[in-house]
Amino acid sequence: MGHDMSLSSASKTETASQKDANMQWGGRFAGGPSEIMQAINASISFDKALWKQDIAGSLAHAAMLAHVGIISKDDETAIRNGLTAIGQDIEAGRFEFSEALEDIHMNIEARLSDRIGEAGKRLHTARSRNDQVATDFRLWVRDAIDGVDQQVASLMRALARRAEEHAADPMPGFTHLQTAQPVTFGHHLMAYVEMLARDRGRLADTRKRLNECPLGSAALAGTSFPIDRSMTAGLLGFDRPTANSLDSVSDRDFALEYLSALSIMAMHLSRLAEEIVIWCSSPFSFIRLSDAFTTGSSIMPQKRNPDAAELVRAKTGRITGSLVSLLTVMKGLPLAYAKDMQEDKEPVFAATDAATLSLAACDGMIRDMTANTKQMRALAGSGYSTATDIADWLVRVLKVPFRTAHHVTGRLVAKAEEKGVDLADLSLAEMQAEEPGITDDIYSVLTVEASIASRTSEGGTASTNVLREARKWQEALAADAPSTSANSAAQ
C-alpha cells in the first residue's frame, strides 16, 4: 500500500482528528482514526481477494433474510441487483477500494448502500463481520483446495505417464545417496505418485471438515432473529451449519489444516526438485531438462541451470513459513474473535500462490524432461549394487542363514574391490574360496536386469509391477476428470 512512514507520528496524529469517523461503525466516534491506526487496521489491500466469496455470502444471507421475512422481497431484489453490479465493477477493475473502509466486507456493503440506499443498510441484519469473514475465508480455502487438487492430479498423471515409459529402464537406487540396489526409473517416479496421492487425501479430508457454514453465528453469540442457517449453508454449498457460534467465529483450524497439507505436499515437491537438481547435474547426467525449464549462466556459456527446480525446493520455505506464521497468530487467543485473526489471510494466499507455481513447474519439468537411460543403466550396476542378490542366492540355494550370507558376500565385495573389478568378474574359483557351495548359477543373479526382474514382491521394482501400477494410476486419474472436486480424490 506504500504508507509513507517518513511522516512523523505527531503529524499523523494531527491529521487523525480532522478525519471523519468510519461510516460503517463510527456512530459513537467523534473523529477518525490516525493514519497509523488506519494503516495497521486496514486489510483491504489483501482481503479484496475475497470479493467473490463475500458477494456470494451476502447473496445467500439476503435470500435467507427475505425467505424468513426479516427483509422484504423487494429489498432482496434490490440487494441482489446491487451486489451483482458491484461484482461486475470489481471484475472489470472499475471498483475503487477504500482503505478508510478497512476491509472487503465494509467496502462492498458501503458501496451497496450508496447504490441502493435503505435496502443496502438492511443487509447486515442478523450477521456480523465475524461470521461473514469466517464464511468468506472458508469458501476461499475450499476453492483453493479444489484448484490445488486438480494440479496435483495433473502432476500425478505426468509422473505415471513417464513411469510407464520407463518401467523397464534401470537406474541406481540409493540409500544415503550411496548406490544401494538397482531399481527402475519408472519405479522411482511412481514413488512420487504415491506421495502426491496422500497429499490429495489430506486436502480432501481438510475440505470435508471445513465444509460447515459459520454464517448466522453473528458476532459471537448467535442472533435473536429467526434465521434459517441450513438455508444459507445449502445455498453456499456447505454440508451443514456449524454447531457452536463461539467456535465458528474464532477458529481458523481449517486454514491451518490446509496449510499443513500444503506444507507436507511442498516437502514432497522439494524432494522431487532436489532429485531433479541432482539428476541433471553433469556428474550424474540422468536426465536433461527442456530449454523451457532451464536457464543459462550470464558468465559460463556451457551452463544449463535447473532454476525452476531450485525455486520449487526453496518455495517450500514460504509454505511452511505460512503454516508457522498462522499457528503463531492463533496460539493463545482467547475466544471469540480477535483482530489478530485478520492476519490469517496473507499466509494462506502466499502459500497458495507458491504451491500453485511449484506444482505447475514440476508438471512442466516432468513432462518435458529427457531421460538418459544409457547413463542410468551404466551406473545402476556400479558400486556392487547386486551384492544383496548374491546374499539372497546363498540363502535361497544353499540355505545359508542370511547373516552368514551377508558376511560371505562382504568378503566377495572386498575381493572385487581389491582387484578393481565388478562382482560378475570374479572367477568361480575365487567365489568358491569364500563359500565352496557356490556354483555357476550365481552369475545369473549378478546382472542389473536379473536383480530388477527378481524384485516381484508387492510394491517391488520389477518392471511388471511398475507397468501395472503406472497403468492403474493413469486409468484412475483419467476417470477423475479435471472438473471433479477434491472429494473424489483418487485413492
**Which spans of this chain sit near ligand ARG (rule: CB under 6 A)?**
43, 47, 103, 105, 129-130, 133, 337, 339, 341-342
Compute the least distance from the CB of residue 143 to ligand ARG, in Å: 17
CB of 209 to ligand ARG, least distance (A): 21
Indicate the SS3 state at residue 119. Answer: helix
The Cα–Cα gap between 178 and 42 comes to: 54
34 vs 409 by CB, closer to ligand ARG: 34
Helix (H) or strand (E) holding 11: helix 9-18
In the complex, the smallest distance separating the C-beta of residue 132 from ligand ARG, rounded to whole angstroms, is 7
Q: Shortest Cβ distance from residue 99 to ligand ARG (Å)?
A: 12
Least Å distance, CB 133 to ligand ARG, is 4
**425 contacts 446 by C-beta, under 8 angstroms:** no
Q: Residue 428 in 3-state DSSP?
A: helix
Contacts of 287 (CB under 8 A, 6+ apart): 276, 279, 280, 369, 370, 371, 372
Cell numbers that stand for 60 in this block? 445467500
Annotated active-site residue 176? The verdict is yes
Instruction: Decide if 297 is catalytic.
Output: yes
Indicate the residue among 289 and 341 with the shorter CB distance to ligand ARG: 341
Q: What is the 3-state secondary structure (H, E, C) of 55-69?
A: HHHHHHHHHHHHHCC
How far, in Å, CA of 372 to CA of 289, rounded?
11
Tell me how far apart the alpha carbons of residues 231 and 259 are, in angstroms, rounded to a whole number: 29
Separation CA 342–CA 328 (nearest Å):
13
Grid coordinates standing for 469?
501400477
Q: Which is nearer to ligand ARG, 189 or 341 (CB)?
A: 341
Kindly state the smallest distance separating residue 262's Cβ from ligand ARG, in Å: 20
Catalytic pick among 6, 8, 176, 457? 176
Catalytic member of 290, 297, 382, 444: 297
Whole-angstrom distance, CA of residue 175 vs CA of residue 177: 5
The HSE-up count of residue 320 (CA atoms within 13 Å, CB side) is: 13
Residue 339 to residues 133, 186, 405, Cα–Cα distance (Å): 12, 50, 67
Positions marked catalytic? 176, 297
